[in-house]
Structure 1
Amino acid sequence: MTRLANHRVLIVNDDGIHAPGIRLLEKAVREHCDDVWVVAPDEEKSGASHSVSMHVPIRLRQLDDRHIAIKGSPTDCVLMALREIMQELPTLVLAGINRGGNLADEIHYSGTIAVAMEAALMGIPSIALSQVFERGADVPWDTSERYIVPVVEQILERGIAAGSFVNINFPPVTPDAVSGVQVVSMGRRPPGAFKTEGRVDNRQIPYYWVHLEPDAGGDADGTDLRAMADGAISVCPLQVDMTNRAMFAALSGMTLNRD
């Protein structure tokens, strides 16, 4: 019996409920666990980050007893699952599998990461999973498929600290070419990874696309970007406490100047 068998698993993504990655993840988990729920956006919400729909209604569409599509953000999906859909809270939240990496600075924009973070804020262990691929190439889903359960099982065995979650990225190589598993820190890409591209519609009105096109660099040893360059699975522990404790010394001693 695997550790997954003991869990009630909620699966959420940001690519949409019909995306190949979430289907792959559900299939892999269901081989080890009978209590699996899928609550995901009804359309792609990549880049939604940790947004919450506070000024528009959230609507749901029940596909069956365990598959619910949400008209809202990935974070909305977690909230709806925990507050309205599931009679018992999940004991594990899995986010993904995202089509494309969630590495370095991209983490701040990711709806996949937001799912895991929201679960951590709610006190539920969570793991985000992403499959990296090279632009113009097929997504190597076989790599994720082979290693999802073994990697998740090892994390569950070691435990996820309260207020923390884990970000996994599978490298853009075939399953047999994976070099190993690296526990890493977030990398930092050179500034300006997101680019804007202006166009003009048929009424001569300008509009713009935003796309991710990072420059080379930022793949220092011990980072998630280096793991991808090495063809390794990256395992990056993250936490919801964003306090910069190293700045305490520099900021200590501040006083109120009433002049």
Structure 2
Amino acid sequence: MSEKNYLCQRILLTNDDGISAPGLEILRTIAAELAPEVWIVAPAEEKSGASQSVSLHRTIICVQSGQHEYAVTGSPADCVALACAELMRDCLPDLLLSGINRGGNLGNETVFSGTVGAAMTGLLFSIPSIALSQNTDAQGTAVWETARKTGAETVRTLFRAGWPSDACLSVNFPAIPPEKAGPLMVTTQGTGCLNGFVVNKLGDEGTGRFTCNVDLRHSGCESDLSDETTAIAAGYIAVTPLKYNRTHMAGLERLQHALR
């Protein structure tokens, strides 16, 4: 587009870890290499696990914290809707980038991800959308340098390649140093590593206060390299196209046959 070889004119950034998260700051740096105009509309606080929820019948507050930068007291999906339907309605983004999430979004974990939920919301506004996640190592540390060093070229390659307008992309960076990371691997969603939920009661009996978390297995989840979980374990940057249609085709055919 110019002497700086920009990819597009305008990029919208959001996330689910909150506007102060390190992954969003890295994504801001990446986006600055790709477009001259970068907008940030992100949750004011962490909204991990928000999926594609929206704040129905609730007021959300939007505070401008810089040029083209807004903190929102809503979900990641709220942020995208607010940006596209109001803040940027006269100058819609050419690309939406959501992340960079601290931790992977793989397999059946994906449906709970606010990072992915924001990218899916971008589809409703016909905006090419990519969710980006940095996997963590065995100690739970995000290897940010991998996303930092490979992120811009990853987005550039995918945007130029293109993908169907009814899909968004979920990109997962492996938890290894960038010089050891493999190339892009286009993958299926697979089943992932979600092994259930961990619910803990807080305080005395009868208080009704609990915490809810997920139980993840991080080894032996899959065996096929075409699956994103296995591709990540092998050191590749996994790219998975996702769409809204969740119809189980085998189940559809079975029920149609049984109910004739």
What is the TM-score normalised by the length of structure 1? Answer: 0.91
Alignment of 1:204-223 (within 5 A): 205=207, 207-215=209-217, 216-221=219-224, 222-223=226-227
Which of 5, 18, 39 does residue 7 from structure 2 map onto? 5
Aligned residue in 2 for 1:235: 239
The CA deviation at 1:4 is 4.8
Q: Deviations over 1:20-41 (max 9, x none)?
A: 1011101111123111100000
Alignment of 1:194-209 (within 5 A): 194-200=197-203, 205=207, 207-209=209-211
Alignment of 1:81-230 (within 5 A): 81-86=83-88, 87-189=90-192, 192-200=195-203, 205=207, 207-215=209-217, 216-221=219-224, 222-230=226-234
Q: Deviations over 1:203-231 (max 9, x none)?
A: 98363222222234322311111012101
The CA deviation at 1:69 is 0.5
Which of 30, 52, 55 does residue 50 from structure 1 map onto? 52
Q: Judge conservation of contact 2:6–2:33 (CA < 8 Å) in 1.
A: no
Alignment of 1:53-92 (within 5 A): 53-86=55-88, 87-92=90-95
Q: Distance in 1 between matches of 2:231 and 2:61?
A: 39
* Secondary structure, aligned partner of 1:5: coil
Q: Judge conservation of contact 1:187–1:220 (CA < 8 Å) in 2.
A: no
Q: Judge conservation of contact 2:96–2:122 (CA < 8 Å) in 1.
A: yes
The CA deviation at 1:152 is 1.0
Change (3 A) 1:34 1:58: same
Q: Deviations over 1:110-133 (max 9, x none)?
A: 000001101012211100000001
The CA deviation at 1:5 is 3.0
* Secondary structure, aligned partner of 2:115: helix
Q: Judge conservation of contact 2:187–2:227 (CA < 8 Å) in 1.
A: yes
Which 4+ stretches in 1 moved above 4 angstroms?
1-4, 253-256
The CA deviation at 1:253 is 5.4
* Secondary structure, aligned partner of 2:49: coil
Q: Distance in 2 between matches of 1:190 and 1:51?
A: 23
Q: Distance in 2 between matches of 1:62 and 1:95?
A: 19
Q: Deviations over 1:129-148 (max 9, x none)?
A: 00001253432111001111
Aligned residue in 1 for 2:43: 41
What is the TM-score normalised by the length of structure 2? Answer: 0.90
- Structure 1 stretch displaced more, 3-12 or 171-180: 3-12
Aligned residue in 2 for 1:25: 27
Q: Judge conservation of contact 1:49–1:109 (CA < 8 Å) in 2.
A: yes
The CA deviation at 1:190 is 6.1
The total of aligned residue pairs comes to 255
Q: Judge conservation of contact 2:31–2:152 (CA < 8 Å) in 1.
A: yes
Paired residue type of 2:44? D
Paired residue type of 1:143? T
Q: RMSD value over aligned CA atoms?
A: 2.1
Q: Distance in 2 between matches of 1:139 and 1:7?
A: 30
Q: Judge conservation of contact 2:106–2:193 (CA < 8 Å) in 1.
A: no
Q: Judge conservation of contact 1:4–1:29 (CA < 8 Å) in 2.
A: no
Q: Distance in 2 between matches of 1:191 and 1:67?
A: 34
